Structure formats: C-alpha cells, structure tokens
C-alpha cells in the first residue's frame, strides 16, 4: 500500500504515488523531468549533486534572472532534492530521534525547517518536514548528500522493523515558483484559494483536475510556492506556468545561490556540515523547547565549538564559508563564522564592528552584520 494514499482523508484531494526513476545523461548525471525543457531554453547545464542542472539561460544573465524574480516571478527546478514520505505508529518517534524538532507540537498541514543530526552533534543535512496527519510526514532532504542520507535513514529504520514506512519519491518533480507575482500566476491554474495558504503551511491543491502537494515557503526571501509533481505531470505543469501572464522565466542555480545568501540561509557543504552543530550555525531555533528539555535526539549533549582555530601561528577570529556580489544591494556579501572574542585585545565582537578579510593573501575591509542581508517578504 502506498503511503500517501493513507492520508487522502486528511485533505480535500487524494494523492497517488507512481514509481519512476530518473534517466541519465551520457556522462552519468541524473536528469530531472525538466531536463529537455532546460535545453530548449538555452540553459548552460552543470553537474550539481549528481544531476545535470541549469546554471543560467540564453539571453538572460545571472543578474537579470535575480532581478526578474525580485520584480515578477520565476520558476526554479529543484527536482534534484530528495522527497520522502514517512508513516506509521513510530514515525514521529523515529524522526524525533534524528532531528531536534518538536513534531508532536507541529500541526498537520504545516512545515518547519530542521536537520538530520548525527550522534556526534554534527548536521548530516538540512531538511524540511511537513506533517500530513497524525503519523505521516512529507520530508525533503538535501540533494548534495542524498546517497549518504538514504544510507543513514535506512540503517536506522532497520532498528524499528514494521513500525515506520518510508517511501522515496524517486524521479518526481519539485518546482519552486518564486517572486511577488507567484500567487497571481498559480491562481490562474487552480480554483483553490491560495490566499489561505500562508507561509509555513501546506495543502493539496487541484490543478487542471490533478491534485498536487503545495507548500508556501521562501528560500529566496520572496514569496514562494513549492509543488511536488509526479514525473508524468511535471513538464506539462511547468509549460502551463511559462505560457501564462504574468510572464515568468526559468531561473538557474546562479540566481538561486545569490538569493539564498541575501536571505541569510545556509548551504550544506559550505556553511554547515558534519562538524557543525545547530548552535554553531545560529540554527538554535530548529531545536524545540520540549526537545531541549527532554533531550533524547542525536547530538543533544554536544557543546558548540569555539569558532577559532590556529593558522600559521596566528589565531583567526573567523572564516568565510560562502559569499557573492549581491544583485539587490549592489555590494559583496558573505556568510561565515566569527568568534565572540577577538584574542588580540579580548574585545567582544558584535554586529557593526569592522574587520579584515584575507582573500588570496590580500586583506580587505568588511563589517560584521546581522542576517538576513535583504529583509524577507514572506506571506504570513
């Protein structure tokens, strides 16, 4: 029995899973369901997380793509992410073991940001968890370490035989529609009232007679809808979006990265990894109050690191983990880790302080600032 079908009574529209596996390019990279569409729009394809993904598109620079989404609406193909459904009487217990989130407190039809935690306290990968019903969850895990995450999950699932079911939606599409006109665009394809779907909520919505799982979030800092689609529906759905007014464009990885930096969001492998705790990464908010009091999740007793390290006889006060020119702000921005104390004069460092960043042996002036760099515009 397919897992999603167990929750059809929780929503207005039933949902059915079709098992399909992604095809590959000649060099062994996986294709998303929109691979041919990307090529037809002149995409520059690059290897990313084991997939062939669009970086930019013909006659559309990175900056133009970025600004377009800020002003209108764009479509991001994020089908390289790994989509799961977990269900069963011990599904909540299992997920609370490997994440610090309070999933009992999480209401059905809501989602939250979380992380897969190692027993060492490090982050195996960031994740989104949406509650479908009493014992059912839709989860999106990181693409960059998909095989490792799956091995981790399967190993732990074996310790609870028969009590937790896991369905991986292999080959499914995941389309992100983002920008201030995103809601206007999607409203043209559904009779459902998406204005009731606020930030942090999920629903099944009817698009042309087909029911699709939709969440409202904001990886760019702009209004964002994410739609999970069976492989057979992904291309047609996306083409419908492209052929509607307001005019939309396909947007590649280059703009996706500059958006997430402006929003102050971590990229796994750059800003967070197995050596990083949620406290290190200023992600304490993903740890539920009840979970912190009761403990019991992987890594709950691991202290945060100091953020300082020795290099060539000097003590660094921090390190940059990712950075880029900000198209919205017009200057360079970067994310990194800065120690609370400058060892040279014992001065406490805080937002607004000036520092030097060493880039290729050249010291450049910078200022510590709070994130996000660009104020988000979520629909609440």
Same-domain check for residues 41 and 189: yes
95, 237: one domain = yes
Cβ neighbours of residue 8 under 8 Å, at least 6 residues apart?
14, 15
Decide if 119 is inside a domain.
Answer: yes
Residue ending a domain, among 305, 328, 347, is 305
Residue 350's domain spans which residues? Answer: 309-367
Residues 164 and 276 in one domain: yes
What DSSP character marks residue 246?
S
Check whether residue 260 and residue 342 sit in a common domain.
no
- pLDDT tens sequence across 108-118: 999 999 999 99
Residues of the chain with confidence (pLDDT) below 70? 1-22, 161-162, 303-315, 340-347
Structure-token pair, residue 162? 């028969």
Say what the pTM is.
Answer: 0.90
Q: Please check whether residue 380 lies inside any domain of the structure.
A: no
- The whole-number pLDDT of residue 312 equals 55
Give me the CATH number covering residue 356: 2.40.30
How far from the centroid of its chain's Cα atoms is residue 325's Cα?
21
The torsion region of residue 284 among left (phi > 0), alpha (psi -120 to 50) and beta comes to alpha
Do 207 and 74 share a structural domain? yes
Q: Does some domain include residue 377? A: no
Beta bridge partners of 44: 56
Nearest in space to 332 (alpha carbons), one of 361, 358, 365, 355: 365
Q: Is residue 375 part of a domain?
A: no
Among the three residues 262, 280, 305, which one is the final residue of a domain in this structure?
305
Residue that terminates a domain, selected from 305, 338, 355: 305
80 and 165 housed in the same domain: yes
176 & 214 share domain: yes
Q: How many domains does the chain have?
A: 2
Listed residue (124, 167, 117) closest to 6, CA to CA: 167
Q: Is residue 379 part of a domain?
A: no
Q: Identify whether 175 is part of a domain.
A: yes
- Beta partners for residue 336, in sequence order: 320
**Is the residue at 137 inside a domain?**
yes
**Within 10 Å of residue 199's Cβ, how many Cβ atoms?**
16
- Domain for residue 66, yes or no? yes
Q: What is the pLDDT of residue 143?
A: 85
Q: In terms of domains, do 353 and 270 share one?
A: no
CATH assignment at residue 150: 3.30.1360.120
Residues 223 and 111 in one domain: yes
Strand ranges for 270-331 from DSSP E: 309-311, 314-316, 318-325
The answer on 115 and 26 residing in a single domain is yes
- Say which residues have a Cβ less than 8 Å from residue 273's Cβ, sequence separation at least 6: 122, 123
Verify that 186 and 239 share a domain, yes or no.
yes
pLDDT per position as a tens digit, 38-97: 999 999 999 999 999 999 999 899 999 999 999 999 999 999 999 999 999 899 999 999
Same domain, 282 and 313: no
């Amino acid at each position: 029995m397919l897992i999603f079908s167990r929750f059809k009574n929780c929503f207005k529209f039933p949902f059915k899973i079709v098992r399909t596996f992604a095809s590959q390019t000649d060099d062994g990279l996986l294709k998303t369901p929109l691979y041919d569409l990307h090529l037809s729009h002149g995409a520059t394809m690059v290897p990313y997380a084991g997939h062939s993904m669009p970086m930019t598109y013909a006659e559309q620079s990175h900056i133009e793509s970025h600004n377009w989404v800020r002003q209108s609406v764009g479509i991001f193909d994020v089908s390289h992410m790994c989509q799961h459904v977990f269900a069963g009487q011990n599904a909540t217990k299992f997920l609370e073991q490997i994440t610090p989130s309070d999933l009992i407190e999480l209401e059905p039809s809501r989602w939250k940001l979380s992380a897969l935690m190692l027993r060492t306290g490090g982050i195996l990968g960031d994740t989104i968890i949406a509650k479908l019903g009493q014992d059912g969850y839709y989860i999106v895990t990181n693409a960059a370490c998909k095989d490792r995450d799956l091995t981790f999950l399967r190993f732990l699932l074996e310790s609870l035989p028969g009590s937790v079911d896991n369905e991986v939606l292999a080959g499914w599409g995941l389309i992100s529609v983002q920008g201030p006109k995103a809601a206007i665009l999607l409203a043209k394809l559904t009779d459902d009232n998406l204005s009731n779907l606020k930030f942090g909520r999920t629903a099944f919505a009817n698009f042309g007679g087909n029911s699709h799982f939709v969440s409202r979030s904001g990886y760019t800092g702009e209004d964002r809808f994410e739609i999970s689609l069976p492989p057979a529906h992904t291309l047609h759905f996306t083409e419908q979006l492209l052929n509607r007014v307001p005019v939309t464009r396909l947007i590649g990885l280059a703009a996706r990265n500059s958006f997430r930096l402006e929003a102050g969001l971590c990229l796994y492998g750059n800003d967070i990894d197995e050596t990083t705790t949620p406290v290190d990464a200023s992600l304490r908010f993903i740890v539920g109050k009840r979970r912190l009091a009761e403990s019991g999740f992987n890594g709950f007793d691991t202290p945060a690191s100091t953020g300082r390290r020795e290099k060539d006889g000097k003590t660094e006060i921090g390190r940059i983990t990712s950075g880029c020119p900000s198209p919205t702000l017009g200057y360079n921005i970067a994310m990194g880790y800065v120690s609370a104390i400058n060892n040279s004069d014992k001065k406490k460092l805080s937002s607004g302080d000036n520092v030097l960043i060493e880039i290729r042996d050249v010291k450049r002036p910078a200022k510590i600032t709070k994130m996000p760099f660009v104020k988000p515009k979520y629909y609440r």
